[in-house]
Structure formats: C-alpha cells, structure tokens
Chains A and B, each alone.
Chain A
Amino acid sequence: MSNYPHIFRYLRPDLADWQGQKIVQAAELHLGLKTGEIRLAQLFSLAEEAQEEQLLAFAEACIQDPLTDQIEINQLSWPAGFASAVAIAQLPGVTDDEGRSAQMAWADFFNLPFEPEEQRIFSQTIYLIEKDLTAEELKALAQRLLGNPLIHHFSYFKAQEGGFDRPFYVPKVQIQANKERQLIDLAPLSDEELLRLSKEMVLALNLAEMQAIRDYYGSEAVQTFRATKGLPAQPTDCELEVLAQTWSEHCKHKEFNALIHYKNLETGEEKDIHSLFKTFIKGATDNVAASLAEKGNDWLVKVFSDNAGVVKATDKHLFVWKVETHNSPSALDPYGGAITGILGNNRDPLGTGVGGAQLLFNTNVLCFGPPNYNKTLLKGQLHPRQIMEGVVSGIEDGGNKSGVPTVNGSIVFDERYSGKPLVYCGTAGIMPYDYLGKNSWEKPIDANDRIIMAGGRVGKDGIHGATFSSIEIDEHSPMSAVQIGSPITQKMLYDFMRVATAQGLIKCSTDNGAGGLSSSVGELAEISGGALVQLEKVPLKYAGLRPWEIFVSESQERMTLVVETEKWPALEKLAQQYEVELSDIGYFTNDGYLDIRYEEEQIALLSMQFLHEGVPQKEMWAEWEKPELQEPELPENLEYNQLLLDLMSSLNICSRESIIRQYDHEVKGKTILKPLMGAKGKAPQDAAVLRFDFSDYQGVAVSNGIIPRYGDIDAYQMSASAFDEAIRQIISVGGRLPNMTENDDIFWSINDNFCVPDSEFHPEHNPDGKLKLAKLVQMCQALYDMASFFDIPLTSGKDSMKNDFKAEGQKISVPPTILYSFTAKMKDVRQTISAEFKMPGDLIYQLGTTYNELGASEFYQLFGELGANVPKVRKEAAKALYLKVMQANEAKLIASSHDLSDGGLAVALAESCFGGDLGANIQLDQLGDLTAWQLLFSESNSRFLVSIAPENQAAFEEIMGDAAFFLGQVSDDQQLTIQLGQEELIQLSNEQLETAWSQTLSL
C-alpha cells in the first residue's frame, strides 16, 4: 500500500517468547494445528516522510528496550527459522492505542507540543511461525485465534516469497468527504416499501412507526411549518436517523412500554397491562418510596430519570449505581464488545446529575455457551470459548486500565447462550452531595448554555449501535456497529471530569453512549426545551463523514457537557492540562426544536415533542401455558462421593479463579470482602464488600441474583428466586434489611436487567412469541411482589429484547434471563462475615428449611433431567429468618456464613471446608424427612450454612429457635464427612474436593 517508514521491533532471539508459546498451545488445543515455534514482533508505520537518522534515534530511544529488544528500520529482513508469518493490523478507523502512544512518544522525543490530531503512527503485530502452514491453516490461525475480520486486516507471508519486500499494509483512512444532505420521500411509499426502507437504512422501526413518521411529515401543520423555515417537505436523512435512534428499543424501551394482552391458560385469567415498566418496575419502587417515607427514611434520591440510580450513602456522599448489557457487540467482537461495555457503563455514573462521580467498583455477570461446545458453528457465529476469552480480556483491560476494581461477578453457562452471550457490566460511584453548594444529582439546563463535547474524536465507528442492538444478529450485521474502547483516553477524561466538576466548571453532563450526540444532546435538550448544534465544529478522526453520521456516531470515550458561557475559558484551560479535547458545538435553546446544522445548511429540524412523544405505543400478546413436567426417576444406590465431585467440577459451580485473578479487585485499597478469601485465597464469597473512604468504616455490599434455568419450569419463581438469592447473599455477609426502623440510614439500590429472546408473536418467524412474552410478564410480576414486600427499591436498570442469533435459517435464542444487581449499605464493614470455616470445634448449622425442590437443579442436570419441583420463594418465612440472622450478627455470634444456592448444602459445605483449610463432620438427621440426595443437593431458597464459636451456642440457638438445624462441627483434619442416620454418604478430603472444583475452567 505504501513505502511509509517502518520500525520493526522483536524480542532478542535468545529470550523465550512466552506469549508465542501460549499461542502454540492454543493452536494445538483449539484448532488441532501444529505450528512449531511462534514469535511475536511489532511493526510501527509512520504515515509520513521521516529522515532515517530521525527514525533510528526515535526507535532506539522510545520503541526499543535496550535489554530485551532488537529493532530494524525501513528494510526488514526475514528472520531465520520461520517459514510463514501473519501480520495483523487494525482496520481503518479502528482504535489503535499502541500507535497513538507511539505518536505521543514521538511528540515528547522531538519536543513538539501536544495537539489532538489525526493518527499518524500505526501499529501492527507480526506473528512469525516456524512451520510452513497452508493458506487455509494460516487463515484459521489468524482469524479464529489471533484476530477478528470485523476489526482486523490480515496479511499473510511466506518465507520463499522473498521476505518482507512486499509493502506492509497501513490502515490510513482514505474516504471522500461527502457533506450532502439527502432527502427521503416517504409520502408515496407503500407499507411494504416503508418496511424495506427501514431495513435497508438499519432504522429498526416497525410499520406503525414508519407510518407515524410518514403521516407526521404529510400533515398540513408540519408542511406549512417546514415551508416557512425554508425546509424541504420530505424528511432529511439526518432527521430519519435521529428519529430511529431516539425511537429505538434501546433508547425508548418500546416493549417495556407496550400494551400487552395477557392470558393465563392455567388459571383462565386475562388482563391488559399498560407498560411493564410503569406497572411493575416503577410501580414497585413507588410502593417502596411510600413505605420508606412513612418511616422517615429519606435515602432514595433519584430513580429511573438519569443515567444511574442515586441514593444517599453517608452524610456527605451519594451512591450512584448502574448495570447495563452489551450483548450484541460482544457476540460479534467479544473483546471490543466487553471493553466498550465496561467503559460505556463507567460513563453512566460519571454522567449522572452534574457528573464527576468517583468510580468505586465494577461487577460483571456473564452468560456463555459451554467452552467445550461441539456443534457446527453457523455463519458469523463465534465459538463460545473464543467469546469467553475475548470478553474476559475485554473486562480485564476495561476495568484494570481504568483503575476501577472488579470486585464481584458471576458466570452462567448454558448452550442457549452460544449464539449471543450476555455481558452485564455494573459500575458504582460515590458523588459528593454538592459541588460548591449546588446539588450534585440535579441536571439544570437553561437556554444559551453551551454544548461541549469532551473526549475522543468522532469516526464511523459504532454507527447504528442503538438500532442495531434492537434487532437480532444475522450474517449481514453491519461492521460499523463494532467499536473498540480506549481505557486510557477515558481515564484521562474521567480525571478531568472529577476536577472540573469539583471546581464548579461544569453545570451538568451526560454520557455519549448509544445514539451518540443524537441521543445525548436530544435527551439533554428535553430539559431546556431545544438545542442548536453546528456539526462542522465536531472534531473528526478523519474526513469523510456525512453530517448525519457525525450526529449518530457512537465513537467512544465522549461526554457531553453543559457549560455556562462565562466558565468556558477556565474549563478549556483545565482541559489542556489534562490533554482532553473539548469542542464547543452549539447551545441549548427553549424554542421546542432540535436544530442541526452543518455550516450554512440545515441538516435537521425536529420538534422535540414529536421526537420524544411521537412514537406509537406497541401492542403485544402474551399467553401462559404451564409446561407438562414431572420429577425424574433416579437410579438406586447413588454414589454420593462421585456425585459431589461431579457437581464441584460442573461448569456452573466450578472455580472461577483463573478468571478472577486476571481482574484487579483491590485497586483503590477499599475492598474488604474480595471474591476469593482465606489463607490460601481459595474461599469463594457470596457478595463483595467495600468501604467508601479511608476516614471511616461505612461501606457497601454488592451481590448478584441470576438463575435462568429455573425459568424452564416457572418464570415467576425464577425471577423471585434470583431476587431472593441476591438478598440472602447480602444478609449472609452481614447486611441488614432496609426500613426496619425509623431513620435507619441503610440504603438498598437495585438494578434489574432483563435479557430475553424475541417475544413478539409472529406465526412463522416466532410462533412461541406469546409464551415468551408471558414469561416476561411473570418475571416482572415477581419483581413487583418481591421488591414491594421487602421494601427494596429498583433504582435503574435496562432491558435487552432481541437476544437471538439467526443464520442459515436457524435461530439460537437465549432463555429469558433476569439479573438483579444488589447494593446495600454496610454501616461498619468490620462486621462483615466471610464464608469459609474459621476454627476447629466451631458448631455448624443450616438456617432455613430444605424442601424437595430439585427442579432445574444442578443435581438433576447431572442426570440430564429437568424435573418439576422448582424452588419457590416463601417471602414471609424468608424475611423472618433474615431478621434472626441480622439479630445474631448484631450480637456478633456468627463466625462464617455461606448462602445455599447452586448444588445446595453439599457444595456450600465443601467450599467452606477447603476455603478455610479445615474439615467438617456432618450429620443430616435434624434437617427433616427427606431423602439423602434431597437434603444434600436441593436448591431451596432462603437458606444459609453458618458456623459459630461453641461459647455462643446458647445465645445463638435462642435467637434462631426452630430456624436453625444443627449439623455438626468444624474439624482440623481437612476432611468432609457427611452422614445420614448410620449411613456415611460422603467422605472426601479437601484436596479431592478442591481439585475437582479447580480444574474445569482454565484461561
């Protein structure tokens, strides 16, 4: 492509290349490919002329490590001992941080001033391969293991071709500028043509919505208005795009606001539900708010109306909490999808109210297909293992490089996530109550306030992200929907935001996420009543974007700031110091219009009212029919030792250590209960606990409830069980239920995240759509019942509606999934209870009752059975028990506590034993009249495994009464022994248990 100057860097040949060796192993494991030795090299290409002396001086000083690297300039010789090579560069316009950092080094080395500018240095990686691989083998290695054709450019080399004399590819963006505004005449289009247009333009609008837009433009009032403004009668491309972004499922939650006709064939009940969101989610929070107010608890500050939910944490601080999903992008490019998911979610707390919250922690909940998936992959489908590895490294870079600890999470494996994984990212922040006397959680905007874009430049990346995530993925999914985040760019923006908000220079702010400026400016303009944007003032990564593309692009690491004119000079100066690019792109108005211009031309003029309220309500149909299910017949003479070992090594129970350790879970020094505790760091915990500050011990506990497989039997109990799981995990680590007394000052802040398959009935394409929608209704009903009963408010959340992967006429749909992400105040983090056993001689109890509830359990799954008796939530009994646990914790009676969930009592016992490096002698007789396997493996809700010091026995038993069942004692022999009557069911050493537990997942 060019003869640009190159710098070639590789590890000294006498040093082992461990990264290369890892690829050798992966190629053999995943592709069955023997590659021989692989070594990596980096290539830096300058997209401009450079003197050779200059280049060499720079390379030696800034690129080469004097101890470990060798470099070559311009002419690259073929290294001896290798037969083939692959060079992998980013595609044009895809984030290339390494290249940008080299460019920064160039400026520093030659003492040039910092100027945000087009990329001039590009990096790529060259993989040198010992064996002479065939073209197909090279391609498989490159595209399945090393890169992704959606974001990478691949060049293949063979030694016999004469080395690297062929020019290297340099991904400089070269596109023609096209500023023209196009008009789209909807008036003459038939219904069929409207739908075709929606599909071709990736608008993701349905017929009613397309008709509403056509009719709006056809109305006399609008025609007259447009004529007086000198505008064409037809909509412009930008107007249609903005309407599509704003009306997208992603932004407007049309299905959660739809009119649903619900029919329960089991009970005969029929009802119309006007908006799931208003009825159940907001409805529950309204109930809770009233109940809190009755007792004078005033910690609920801001719900549903901003980027994140806000509650009062301490006298000085607010707690800001948001969980989102990033499923579709992660299916296409797992690394990029996950990293933009994390960074995008970080910007939600950062852009709540005035903005500038201090980020406290991240959590991640992931749903994948099994890593050993062996079905033939459909076109465009990535292997679940590849998705898992990419997502995990995206989370690693996204969290670690942002300096935000990843403290907690969960991974669920189910074959139905093999098409689309679910990637939930949660971030909490702490914000001062006020900035220089102004309430931090409010978003005041007045006419004439400036619109300032801050952060990264705009390119073609992420165009149509919002509309794209609202449709199912197929083999034609647009490449531009993929983005790669740059954590360091965002970290610099974050550092700047914190200082600028503290100095009162920012009036308020919001995130530029899905829909880009269209969405951020469009939403902020609702507050003032209009906005005027000059698109030519938006800085671009490269020329050639059409005006509408500039407006809807989702290029990452950007915030939109609202700034008073007189504060602009000071803000600009601060931004220079932090090397954050700011651009003044317009101002807010109060004339009721979103007014978009490019130089002199009017690109769009949209009525705010039509934009935000013109979308027609959706109408949908739901029908519940109870599945015919029965309990399985299990073989006689079960081998309990082997069954427990099988459970310990099953995908949904086994150790996540190889993943957890790749995440920084203690940066900032505030993590009190980490994901793995104990002397050997092997004890998994129920929730994470962090303190807010170094000055006192107030803090927060974080837990996740997610059990999609229960939904195969009963969607209501699935949702209720997940809710209960998240509560009991908080109670287990020492949390307290809210609103028990007046002015209790214990906030709870919950995010709900629904991820469901296409639930819109269609006789051919989605014949079971009504059943799927009925499940969604029941999940919402359970949410309402649980939240209202426990006085636990939902404060924010998200729904992701079409999680289906379609290709080659087949469809892989996720099971309806709900994640509850809980946070609850801990008044004193020093009272936290961890899960592992502490001392030999401690007494062990089960709290809560075991029922014959193994439907959809991990135990039945060992036999390939579903069963029928799904665990139910008994709210009243659960609450009574939680109050007792709270009382026991207040008296400091409990030494260890582990909630019972996947795999039941036996799994919890095993984890508490090897986690504490101790054993246990257990007798199950007190637990009631059930079979051994029911007592060991039932997953009944609202139960704990606790241990107490012997001296606390009387006090503990008095509080617990008949809710506690004595099981036995902690021993120092590192053996788990379980008996029922005279029969010894289980006799296993910690080593056996831990080995089974830790060998399934390795990354």
Chain B
Amino acid sequence: MVQVLVLTGFGINCEEETAAAYQMAGAQAHIHHFNEVLLEGHDIHQYQLIHFPGGFSFGDDLASGKVMANKIRYKKLPNGNSLLDELKIFLNNGHFIMGICNGFQMLVRLGLLPNTRLSFAQQSSLLPNLSSQYEDRWVYCKVNPGSESPFLKGIDIIPLPVRHGEGRLLFGDDTLKQIVRTKSLNCLSYCLENGDLATEYPANPNGSELSCAGLCDPTGQVFGLMPHPEAFLSLYNHPNWPKMKRQNPQLSEEGWGLKFFKNIVQHIQAN
C-alpha cells in the first residue's frame, strides 16, 4: 500500500481532510507533527509521498509559508542534515511531494517549485491577492494540455475552492516565465467555465501571472497548487450540488477533487 506522510503543526489546518483524501484514494496516510521529524528524527524515507497541507503556518507572519520554509531549510535534524537535505534525497529516490495552499507557498519559497534548474533556490514568489483580501470562492481550473504531471492525468476543467489571502504568483523575470511555459510547468491555470484562460478578477481570484493556479517541477515529482482539491472530496461540497443532483439524480457522489489524489496513488502503485 502506498504510504503517505501528511505533515502538520504550527497552524497548518487541512491535515485531516488531506489524510482522508489519500485514504479514499487507496493509500495509507499518516499525520505527523513537523517536530516529530525536526526534533525527533522521524524517518521520512519510509513514505512514497510527502504532503504539505494548507493552513496558516505561523499565521502567515513575515510572509505566507516563510517561517516554515526557513525551518525546513535551516533547522538541523538530529542527524545534522536539514529537512531540505532529506527532501532532496527523498526526491532522488524517485518519490513524490505535493503541497496545497500554505503547503504550495512553502514549496515555492523553498525553491522546490518551479525549480527549473533543480537548484532548490527560490525563483518565484507569492504576494497578497490583488484584492488585498482573503477570499473563499469557487473557481474553475484548467490543466495545461502540455503537462505530463502524474497528478493531473485525465483532468481537463475542474471547479475548486480557493481560500487564501496570498496567492498572487509572481515569476521573477520573463526568462523564467518563458522556461516555465516551454516546459509546461504552469500545469494548472485559472479559467472560465468554458475553459478560456481567466484574466480578470474574480475568475482569476488573486491576480497570478499566467493565471497560474498550480506548478510542477521538471521531474514531475513535485506538484503544488493554491486551490483546495481536498475540500472537494464529496459531491456535496460543491456549491451547486442541489441543482446538479436534480438535473442528474445518478450523478456520482464522489467529489472531483479526489481525482488528484487517486491519480498520484495509482501512479505510484503502477511504478
């Protein structure tokens, strides 16, 4: 069975639904506090996937995900390595990392995404939403047709909730933007219901460059996104479910967000 580590603590708050998502997808999910890894040396290499969930680690102080990212980069584990060193080994071993919302913000600040040069230096950043407000709203996302990410197989357009105040993705420069596009690392974009790229608020809820909602790294092993697929595990999470069910009483009760988790669990099982 695929073993998944879901990290929590310090203000992270989506660990339960995230673990539920992996369980529903057929994996075994284990929730552990960051300090079990950082202070007590809990071994991350017994897992095939590490998940960084959403929430407010350290209250978004200094910048969203920043204090946690620094902990991962600088704090020495009992074996003398940083957790980032261990994550590099973890990826070298062919395993996978996913981050959602605050977890995505950490991965970007850690340089795990988009990581075009595989140098683990921060290349992109996340700024406060253009609205200067935290927002909870449902948006549509579209998978980049050029993306080969194992997380996104079979997904085209999908409605998902966003719930964040700092989601405006910024690429440092045009060269980086070009590389990201060429390699289809901008694997998930905000779009309209018909699939057209969302250029305006609120379809693009935060003002991200390239209308980008999610990124993967060049190896395809690391994937992160701002929207919350783990909040759409059931049809009954969708704001229009009463009408959808009226129109089609046979509609599956499974939430569409589960697809991301099923994809990666099946991919790991198959390889």
**Residues on A facing B (Cβ under 8 Å):** 15, 18-19, 22, 61-63, 65-68, 97-98, 100-102, 104-105, 108-109, 111, 396-397, 400-403, 486-488, 491-492, 495, 577-579, 660-672, 674, 676-679, 681, 691, 694, 829-830, 832-834, 836, 838-839, 895-896, 916, 949
Q: Once bound together, how far apart are the Cα atoms of A97 and B60, in whole Å?
A: 10
Please give 13 more A-B residue pairs, beta carbons under 8 A apart, in addition to A492-B10, A896-B242.
A18-B128, A18-B130, A61-B74, A63-B62, A65-B122, A101-B67, A104-B67, A578-B9, A661-B137, A668-B16, A668-B17, A672-B237, A679-B240
Whether B239 lies near A681 (C-beta < 8 A) is yes
Given A67-B125, A672-B237, do A666 and B33 touch, yes or no (CB 8 Å)? no
Interface: B70 (CB within 8 A): yes
The answer to whether A492 touches B11, judged by C-beta atoms less than 8 angstroms apart, is yes
B248 at the interface (CB under 8 A from A): no
* B interface with A by C-beta (< 8 Å): 8-14, 16-17, 20, 24, 33, 35-36, 39-40, 54-56, 58-63, 66-67, 70-71, 73-76, 109, 122-125, 127-128, 130-138, 161, 163, 170, 172, 228, 230-234, 236-237, 239-240, 242-243, 246-247, 253
Contact assessment for A67 and B62 in the assembled complex, using a CB-CB cutoff below 8 Å: no
Instruction: Decide if B134 touches A67 in the complex (CB within 8 Å).
Output: no
Closest to A23 in B: B132
CA distance A108 to B60 in the complex (A): 17
Contact across chains for A676 and B58 when beta carbons are under 8 A apart: no
CA distance A163 to B4 in the complex (A): 54
Chain B residues near A577 (CB, 8 Å)? 33, 35-36, 39-40
Say yes or no: A578-B35 contact (C-beta < 8 A), given A488-B58, A694-B233: yes
Closest residue to B242 on the A side, CB-wise? A834
Question: A67 near B172 (CB under 8 angstroms)?
Answer: yes
**B14 / chain A contacts, CB cutoff of 8 Å:** 403, 667-668
A498 and B224 CA atoms in complex are apart in Å by 29
Tell me whether A672 and B239 are in contact in the complex, defined as CB-CB below 8 angstroms, given that A19-B128, A65-B125, A491-B13 are known contacts.
Answer: no
Question: Are the C-beta atoms of A676 and B239 separated by less than 8 Å?
Answer: yes
Does A105 lie within 8 Å of B70, measured CB to CB? yes
Contact A579 B35 (CB under 8 A): yes
Please pick, from A62, A67, A662, A664, the residue contacting B66 in the complex, using a CB distance under 8 A: A62
Complex CA gap A839/B134 in Å reads 33
The distance in angstroms between the C-alpha atoms of A402 and B40, with both chains bound, is: 26
A579 to B11, CA, bound (A): 12
Structural contact, B13 and A402, CB atoms closer than 8 A: yes
Q: Would you call the interface of chain B mostly helix, strand, loop, or mixed?
A: mixed
| Neighbour of A665 across the interface among B9, B131, B136, CB < 8 A | B136
Decide if A669 touches B230 in the complex (CB within 8 Å): yes
Residue in A67, A108, A492 whose CB lies within 8 Å of B170: A67
CA distance A677 to B137 in the complex (A): 11
A672 and B245 CA atoms in complex are apart in Å by 13
Q: Determine the distance from Cα of A787 to Cα of B234 in the docked complex, in whole angstroms.
A: 36
Closest to A67 in B: B125
From A67, A102, A486, residue with most partner B Cβ within 10 Å? A67
Query: Which residues from chain B contact A661 at a C-beta distance below 8 Å?
Result: 133, 135-137
Q: Which residue of A lies closest to B38 (CB)?
A: A108
Per CB-CB distance, the 7 closest pairs between chain A and chain B, nearest first, are: A403-B13, A101-B61, A669-B17, A67-B125, A488-B59, A834-B242, A488-B11
Partner of A666, one of B135, B237, B247: B237
| Known contacts A487-B56, A577-B36; is-contact A105 B62 (Cβ 8 Å) | yes
Contact assessment for B236 and A401 in the assembled complex, using a CB-CB cutoff below 8 Å = no
Write 28 A-B pairs (CB below 8 A) sorted by A numbering.
Answer: A62-B67, A63-B62, A65-B125, A66-B125, A67-B172, A98-B61, A101-B58, A104-B67, A105-B66, A105-B71, A396-B134, A402-B13, A491-B56, A495-B8, A495-B33, A661-B136, A662-B133, A666-B136, A666-B231, A666-B237, A668-B16, A671-B237, A676-B239, A678-B243, A694-B24, A694-B234, A839-B246, A896-B242
Q: Which residues of A contact B63 (CB under 8 A)?
A: 65
Q: In the complex, what's the smallest C-beta–C-beta distance from A182 to chain B, in angstroms?
A: 39
Which of A111, A397, A400 has the most chain B CB atoms closer than 10 A to its own CB?
A: A400
Min C-beta distance of A116 to chain B, whole Å:
14
Give bound CA distance, A786 to B17, whole Å. Answer: 39
Cβ contacts under 8 Å, B35 to chain A: 577-579
**Does A916 lie within 8 Å of B243, measured CB to CB?**
yes
With most chain A CB atoms within 10 A of its CB, the pick from B12, B39, B62, B247 is B62
B135 — which chain A residues lie within 8 A by C-beta? 661-662
Q: Which residue of the partner chain A has the closest CB to B16?
A: A668
Q: Which residues of A contact B239 (CB under 8 A)?
A: 674, 676-679, 681
**B138 x A111 contact (CB < 8 A):** no
Q: A61-B70, A678-B243, A839-B246 are in contact. Are A666 and B62 (CB under 8 A)?
A: no
Residue of chain B at shortest CB distance from A895: B246
A666: B residues at CB distance < 8 A: 136, 161, 163, 228, 231, 237
- In the assembled complex, the Cα of A660 lies from the Cα of B63 at a distance in Å of 24
CB distance from B169 to the nearest CB of A (A): 11
- Smallest CB-CB separation from A109: which chain B residue? B74
On chain A, the residues within 8 Å of B237 by CB distance are 666, 669, 671-672
Partner of B10, one of A22, A488, A674, A676: A488
> A15–B246 Cα gap in the complex (Å)?
48
- Which residues does chain B contribute within 8 Å of A670, judged by CB atoms? 17
Minimum CB–CB distance from A471 to chain B (whole Å) comes to 33
